[in-house]
A and B are shown apart, each in its own frame.
Chain A
Amino acid sequence: MAKVPVQFTLNGSEKAEFIESGTTLLHALRDKIGDMSPKGACHQGTCGACSVIIDGELRLSCLTLAETCNGAAIRTTAGLAEGGVLHPLQRAFLDAFATQCGFCTPGMIMAAKVLLDRTPNPSREAVVEALSGNICRCTGYEPIIQAVLTAARANSQNAA
């Protein structure tokens, strides 16, 4: 199979790879580039564990072909911490015990990040809606919802 070039920015740094045509973005990120934060779970668009942010929009990397991302700006949970300091969402997830096995966490955080980027002070309902495409089998969701609300409060306090 002929390889094709793909080029995009991942968490702000330029990436260029040769991949097999038809490779999913999830596969390219994990197995080619080595960003293991998006998880492959259902590969069906059901669970949200592979969620990444492409050009500001939440998308499922398992259903996105890497070739279609040429020139895109891709963000993953691995790029959130700055200089060893966790992002407020990551900190809130830890503090609220919103992560148990941790498999859904990167996807949850991506879904929460696009919400907070657009709606810094969301209602509980908006949080539930924003996370509705992400499945967690451990926590029962409540700690995750609380963590996102806590991170939102921390954001608005910093801004004030």
Chain B
Amino acid sequence: MSLALQTFSSVKDANAALQAAGTRYLGGGTLVVRAANEGDVSVSRLVRVTDPGLSQIAVSGGKIRLGASVTMAAIARHPELAALAPAARAVGGPAIRNMATVGGNLFAPAPYGDFAVALLALDATVVTEDGELPIETFLAGRDTSRAVVTAVSLSMPKTESFRFLKISRVKPKGISVLSIAALMQRTADGTVTSARIALGCMADRPMRAKAAERALLGCKLTPEEIAPALAAAGEGISPITDPIASAWYRAEVLPVHLGRLLLA
């Protein structure tokens, strides 16, 4: 294995260097160095950016802006990001959370990328030098994306409207069987007026459960009323099979865990 690391002070220079074949961006290292250690010879050069702006968290006027180099640990301990903390804490163990970044999580293949599942439910915007993309569009095109992600921005969710659940077989830290994030607006009597549900491990990257979202509209969160949404949860999914769980198992337990999240 041989790797060469190039360090730049600006994203612009890093973007130019990233055009070369075999070059990947180095964030926290938990994905690309791992790939290189595993013998992935497609990675020969790494590029990183030391601009401190990439590590900044800004919260103002109900908006959150997370620099791409912000770590999961920084989110988990930030006093104003309590709503995102459960999703940030779901990633790895303490050492991984000190390294793994927001930007990297957007590229993490299933079963990783639990934080990106939360960002998808929250309809985050992904920022690069080329412009801004809705996260759903970004995730769909991430395999061919060549521009360094500089930040993610999103609206601060109300604590009661955002829910996140990660299921793993080992506690307190384990790889996802699946993860679910749900952003729901409800009227005073509890009727769902909007729902955005994102699933992890149900495809090679985070995806939305659009059929379940539609089925929840106009429902109250009771076992009877959410039943159609649970029945629709599996529509369009293509779960991964790995040593943690088979695709069959993941599909079977998805409605169970979605039900628990909705009724919690």
Contacts and interface: CB of A to CB of B under 8 A. Distances in A.
Contacts of A21: 3-5
Interface string A73-105: 000000000000000000000000000000000
A59 interface: yes
B20 to A, nearest CB: 15
B29 A63 contact: yes
B162 to A, nearest CB: 23
A36 interface: no
Contacts of B111: none
Interface in B19-58: 26, 28-30, 33-34, 36-38, 46, 48
A133 B96 contact: yes
Interface stretch (B87-95, B195-203, B210-218): B87-95
Which secondary structure dominates where chain B touches chain A? mixed
Interface size grouping (class) on chain A:
20 to 34
Contact of A133 (B7, B33, B38, B94): B94
Contacts of A132: 93-94, 172-173
Contacts of A63: 28-30, 33-34, 37, 99
Nearest to B46: A22
B93 A48 contact: yes
A22 B34 CA distance: 12
Contact of A59 (B37, B38, B48, B99): B99
A59 B5 contact: no
Nearest to B33: A63
Contact of A65 (B1, B26, B95): B26
Most buried by B among A44, A60, A111: A60
Contacts of A60: 30, 95-96, 99
A67 B26 CA distance: 12
A153 interface: no
Contacts of B26: 65, 68
A58 to B, nearest CB: 5
A109 interface: no
Contact of A22 (B3, B28, B30): B3
A45 B5 CA distance: 20
A121 B166 CA distance: 29
A35 interface: no
B94 A45 contact: no
B92 A24 contact: no
Given A48-B93, A48-B95, A133-B92, A67 B5 contact: yes
B2 interface: yes
Contacts of B173: 132-133
Contacts of B33: 24, 62-65
Contacts of A58: 94-95, 98
A17 interface: no
Most buried by A among B29, B95, B99: B95
B95 A62 contact: no
B73 interface: yes
B4 A43 contact: no
B35 to A, nearest CB: 10
Given A22-B4, A64-B29, A128-B172, A57 B98 contact: yes
